[in-house]
Amino acid sequence: MSTLRKLLEKARRNPRNLSREEFESLVRAYGHIEEGGRHPLAIIGEYTLPYKRENPIKACYTKELIAILDSIKDKPEKNKRGKHKRNEK
């Protein structure tokens, strides 16, 4: 099992015990982080998640990140020819 997959399973099992570094590595794997303002923004696809830099990250931010990642996995991706293909689990 890959490190990223293990980290995602850890977040699902216990969202209250995810460190800031682990949260941000999940965000960077699927999107990017914009600094500035009071809170950084986790941007994944068309979704934006502002979060507070605390250690450990609050469970509400972790749960919302998991919901965003699940919704992205459920959407069909477009291949190079513009046709849709389904994600295989």
pLDDT tens-digit readout, 61-79: 999 999 999 998 765 444 4
CA 36 – CA 52 distance, rounded (Å): 12
Q: Above 90 in pLDDT, residue 16?
A: yes
Total Cβ atoms within 10 A of residue 23: 25
Is pLDDT larger for residue 82 or for residue 33?
33
Confidence of residue 36 (pLDDT cuts 50, 70, 90): confident
CA 33 – CA 16 distance, rounded (Å): 21
| Under 8 Å between Cβ of 43 and 28 | no
CA 18 – CA 36 distance, rounded (Å): 23
Task: Spell out the domain ranges in the chain.
Answer: 3-73
DSSP three-state, residue 77: strand
